[in-house]
Amino acid sequence: MELISIIVPCYNEQEVLPLFYDEITKTMNKMRTDNPGLDFELLFINDGSKDSTLKLLRELSAKDECVRYISFSRNFGKEAGMFAGLENANGDYVVIMDADLQHPPEYIPEMYDYVKNKGYDCATTRRVNRKGESKIRSWFARKFYKIMNKISQTEIVDGAQDYRFMSRQMVDSILSMKEYNRFSKGIFSWVGFNTKYIEYENVERAAGTTAWSFWKLFLYSLDGITAFSTVPLALASILGIISCLISFIMIIFIIIKTLAFGEDVQGYPTIICAIFFIGGLQLFCMGILGQYLSKTYLESKRRPIYIVKETEKTPRNKYEEN
């Protein structure tokens, strides 16, 4: 007997959830007939949805015994959802996928084959295009991957997604990384192992709307940088050294100039420019230090990554009224 756990983080997905359930059930049934002895567990993580996602999950788990769910006490973010899923999955293999059908379930049999029979520890998809996404968003995304791969030892593949099929061994190593500021794309790559990338064309959301605004994605990308690179800290020192050098040259220049031509009250614009420039540099570098300090501060609090309010095992009467 082999068990595959499918982890699905959900945040306000009431529109797409029934569609997703139908699609994934088709795939699971097909795989069950093709591979006797294979079983599934569908583990939904309700990340504090404000719509009727939780109600749907209760219904699904009541009618289908392979459906489990974990419901958070509030919205903790997709990273926390994925972590909770990995921590609670029982499978020999674990799949992480989105609820909006942007990660087509048809790829699961192929991924299973790569991991089970072809010596890979992980199979994942890579978008070859960003069809249906705004131009500015794609541009920023591409730049992010470029910068990130320059300044970080951990390779982050452009277009790689959180749609993954992993062996138990890889899941356990991911779970051993208990950091609070989680950036999964980096974590998946940091733990190593053999990863197979399957290329596919971007698919648009089946229903509902994305929860990721441009601003949220931008902040997430900063998380990624601070979590997997300390180059910005070195950048602060380098900028400091450069401005020291410049000021040293300026000092010599001014001394010689004063000795040769005497002193008169001039150069007000130069001074103002220099003050603003150096002030700006200092604030910028302090900002970088602040970023790392704030991450360290959050890590040192050792807060839990998520808080569970309800699961499929919670007695019915406990939540009937809300």
Should residue 100 be labelled a site residue for Mg ion when binding is judged by CB under 5 A?
yes
| Nearest CA-CA partner of 168 in 81, 89, 66, 68 | 89
Counting Cβ atoms within 10 Å, is residue 203 exposed (0-12), middle (13-18) or buried (19+)? middle
Binding segment for ligand UDP among 99-107, 183-191, 196-204, 274-282 (CB under 6 A)? 99-107
Q: How far is CA 82 from CA 47, 268, 282, in A?
A: 10, 57, 38
Instruction: Work out which of 102, 161, 167, 226 binds Mg ion, going by CB under 5 A.
Output: 102
User: Is 47 one of the binding residues for Mg ion (CB under 5 A)?
Assistant: no
Longest dimension (CA), the chain: 94
**Locus of tokens 């131009």:** 135
**∠ CA(213), CA(217), CA(20), 5° rounding?**
70
Which tokens in the block code for residue 152? 């970080």
The 127-166 site mask, x for binding ligand UDP (CB under 6 A), equals ----------------------------------------
Query: Rounded CA gap, 226 and 240, in Å?
Result: 20
CA distances from 123 to 63, 111, 128, 199, 303 (A): 31, 5, 16, 11, 31
Residue 85, interface with ligand UDP (CB under 6 A)?
no
Picking from 227, 217, 220, the residue whose alpha carbon sits closest to that of residue 180 is: 227
CA separation for the pair 85, 94 (Å, rounded): 9
Which residues between 192 and 221 bind ligand UDP (CB under 6 A)?
A: 205, 210-212
Pick what 105 binds: ligand UDP, Mg ion, none; C-beta below 5 to 8 Å, kind-dependent.
Answer: none
99 binds ligand UDP (CB under 6 A): yes
Residue 101 touches ligand UDP, criterion: CB under 6 A: no
- Nearer to ligand UDP by Cβ, of 41 and 47: the residue is 47
* Residue span binding Mg ion (CB under 5 A) among the ranges 50-58, 94-102, 128-136, 276-284: 94-102
98 belongs to the binding site for ligand UDP (CB under 6 A): yes
Residue 79 site contact among ligand UDP, Mg ion, none (CB < 5 to 8 Å, cut-off depends on kind): none
Which of ligand UDP, Mg ion, none binds 211 (CB below 5-8 Å, type-dependent)?
ligand UDP
CB of 271 to ligand UDP, least distance (A): 49
Pick the piece of the chain touching ligand UDP (CB under 6 A) from 93-101, 142-150, 163-171, 263-271.
93-101
Nearer to ligand UDP, 66 or 203 (CB): 203
Straight-line distance from the first to the last Cα atom of the chain, in angstroms, rounded to the nearest whole number: 38
42 lies in the binding site for ligand UDP (CB under 6 A) = no
Least distance in angstroms from the C-beta of 111 to ligand UDP = 18
Contacts (Cβ under 8 Å, ≥6 apart) of 255: none
75 binding ligand UDP? (CB under 6 A) = yes
Q: How many residues bind Mg ion (CB under 5 A)?
A: 3
CB of 220 to ligand UDP, least distance (A): 10
Sheet strands side by side (includes 38-46): 195-200, 122-127, 160-167, 93-96, 2-10, 38-46, 67-72, 308-311
Residue 102 in the binding site for ligand UDP (CB under 6 A) = yes
Which of 39, 312 has the CB closer to ligand UDP?
312
Which are the contacts of 59, defined by CB distance < 8 A and separation ≥ 6?
Answer: none
Binding site for Mg ion (CB under 5 A): 98, 100, 102
Q: Which residues bind ligand UDP (CB under 6 A)?
A: 9-11, 13, 47, 75, 77-78, 81, 98-100, 102, 205, 210-212
